[in-house]
Amino acid sequence: MSTPISPHSLLQLMWLASPALPIGGFSYSEGLESAIDAGYVDGEASAADWLVDQLHLTQSRGDMAALAQAIPAWQASDVHRVEALNDWVTTTRETSELRLQSEQMGQSLTVWLRNQHADSAQRMVQIETLARLSQRTPTYPIAFALAAAFTLAPVRECVLAYAFGWAENMVQAAIKAVPLGQSAGQRILARLAVEIPPAVEHALSLPDEARTAFSPMLAILSSRHESQYSRIFRS
């Protein structure tokens, strides 16, 4: 049986997953806008298929797996492990836009954590460790892992919150860029909500050697987006 989650921890996770968190997630489409421009996504069905594939092929096998491993590393104050995971996330960003997104959101979440935990000397030590990991910029999954560790929630629930926050941002991107109506967006989100639990279980099961970020079409579309004539998102 899974460890029960306290109301306080649950509310903290809901806060972290909220699109209202001021870290800039709303300004990125993670290649979706380029897929729309190329004609791969042209309506509700294809947008849902695209996001479900992205959930399972990139998020579950990559960022969510790294996040799941980073949470216990933060809890154990294993800085070397956290640095290795942060370096891995950085090296998986195949375009400047995708790297910008990960680093900008990681930096913004680090600033948010400083503001939230300024009265805790112990937590500030970890936050400052996050800010200077291997003299690299903290990536978003690793910063989220620290924020999630502070909630004291079980790892599974932390990754579920991360995945649902990602889903909400991506659905909003689809609504704006396809474009779609709000009802269509809710239907896509409902489908993603069904797909998220097995994606999380897969992420939790992956050892280091099984993590992967192999998604060549996403990398190509992201590269094209950098010079796309008309766009509303930063990736």
Neighbours of 227 (CB within 10 A): 7
Q: Please give the C-alpha separations between residue 71 and each of 77, 141, 168, 223, in angstroms, as whole numbers.
A: 10, 10, 22, 31
Mean pLDDT of 228-234: 78
Domain locations along the chain: 41-225
pTM: 0.94
Q: How many angstroms separate the CA atoms of 41 and 178, rounded?
A: 7
* Cβ atoms of 190 and 196 closer than 8 Å: no
pLDDT one-digit tens code per residue, 108-132: 999 999 999 988 998 999 988 888 8
For residue 4, is the peptide bond before it cis, meaning its omega torsion is within 30 degrees of 0?
A: no
Residue whose token pair is 């992205």? 54
pLDDT bin (cut points 50, 70, 90) of residue 134 is: low
Burial of 26 (0-12, 13-18, 19+ CB in 10 A): middle
pLDDT one-digit tens code per residue, 3-27: 788 999 999 999 999 988 999 999 9
> What integer best gives the mean pLDDT of the chain?
93
- What are 214's two structure tokens? 């192999």
* Amino acid at the residue 158: C
Overall residue count recorded for the chain in this entry: 235
pLDDT one-digit tens code per residue, 185-223: 999 999 999 999 999 999 999 999 999 988 999 999 998
Is the domain 41-225 a CATH 1.10.4190.10 member? yes
Q: How many angstroms separate the CA atoms of 11 and 220, rounded?
A: 38
Question: What's the farthest any 2 CA atoms get from each other in the chain?
Answer: 52
